[in-house]
Amino acid sequence: MELTYYGRTCVRIRGREATIVHDPYTSIVGPTGRGINGDIVTFSHPDDAPLARVKGRLARDERTPIATSLDDSVVLEGPGEYEVKSILITGIRTYRDAHRGPAARHNTVFTAEIDGMHIVHLGDYAEGFASDQIKELPGADIVLVPVGGALSAEAAEAIISELGPKIVIPMPVVDDAAKANAAIRAFCKEGGLATPPEAQAKLVISISALPEETTTVVIEPRAEGFGGD
């Protein structure tokens, strides 16, 4: 399995049977997708900075354009249980902040089994997991967690402790490089790491190579202008 991080919550995961692209906002990958492709596309929440005057189809929120390179992809945008190209995917409703009712800002956490590994993409999760929802995420091997946003480092660490994954990948939801690096440092410090691990270009791993204990992996954002030094 190969995992590439683009920026904010945009991630591409290539497995033997299919490729999943999480949150491929055109504000990150561009209106044509800049070569990004996948069999399955998920949107955890609307794009906060959509490009103006982008042609093509919109996601169900009617504000998030879908990159043209993903025109033939199956798009998943909400809670439910799905099976696409033999990949089982579950979407779980959570929230991006403390608001509820008409002011609620919804988020969908997606979990999928790829190459025998269970991968959880938290999107822009801030809160809202109930105990029965946590039970829907058994045996999480890799968790992608947003940092630098509404989810505090302490709350992020609590979620990680409950899920107990083998690998944790922080996703800075801020574009500024200094703020992104600070968010990663704060997250790592809360997890007991004095210094963040050196960033990798991408993660390539198999189920047999998963570490025994929870390990934080930092991946460089591929899109220009996101994170980095």
**Residue 68, token pair as written in the block:** 């043209």
* 166-188 average pLDDT score: 95
Pairing of the two strands 215-216 and 10-14: unpaired
Average pLDDT estimate for 142-149: 96
Q: What is the pLDDT of residues 37-55, one digit of tens each?
A: 999 999 999 998 888 777 7
220 touches 203 (CB < 8 A)? no
Residue type, 113: E
Give mean pLDDT, residues 150-173. Answer: 94
Confidence of residue 229 (pLDDT cuts 50, 70, 90): very low
CB–CB of 168/191 below 8 Å? yes
pLDDT value at 224 more than 70: no
4-39 pLDDT, tens digit each: 999 999 999 999 999 999 999 999 999 999 889 999
- Which has more confidence, 213 or 229? 213
Check: CB of residue 51 under 8 Å from CB of residue 65: yes
Grouping H, G, I as helix, E, B as strand and the rest as coil, residue 166 is coil
Residue 228 has pLDDT above 50, yes or no: no
Query: Among 129, 103, 143, which Cα is nearest to 22's?
Result: 143
CA-CA distances (angstroms) from residue 201 to 72, 90, 207, 217? 27, 28, 20, 11
Domain positions in the chain: 2-216
Q: What percentage of the chain reaches a pLDDT higher than 90?
A: 73
152 falls in which pLDDT band (50, 70, 90)? very high
The CATH code that applies to domain 2-216 is 3.60.15.10
Q: What is the pLDDT of residues 67-98, one digit of tens each?
A: 999 999 999 999 999 999 999 999 999 999 88
Which whole number is the average pLDDT over 113-119?
A: 96
DSSP class of residue 12 equals: E
At 178 the three-state DSSP class reads helix
Residues facing residue 13 across a β-bridge: 3, 20
- Residues 124 and 94: their CA atoms lie apart, in Å, by 9
Instruction: Note the pLDDT of residue 98.
Output: 86
pLDDT for residue 56? 79
The secondary structure of residue 1, as a DSSP letter, is -
Q: CA-CA distance, 8 to 146, in Å (whole number)?
A: 8
Name the β-bridge partners of 220: none
pTM: 0.94
CA distance linking residue 191 with residue 165, whole number of Å:
13
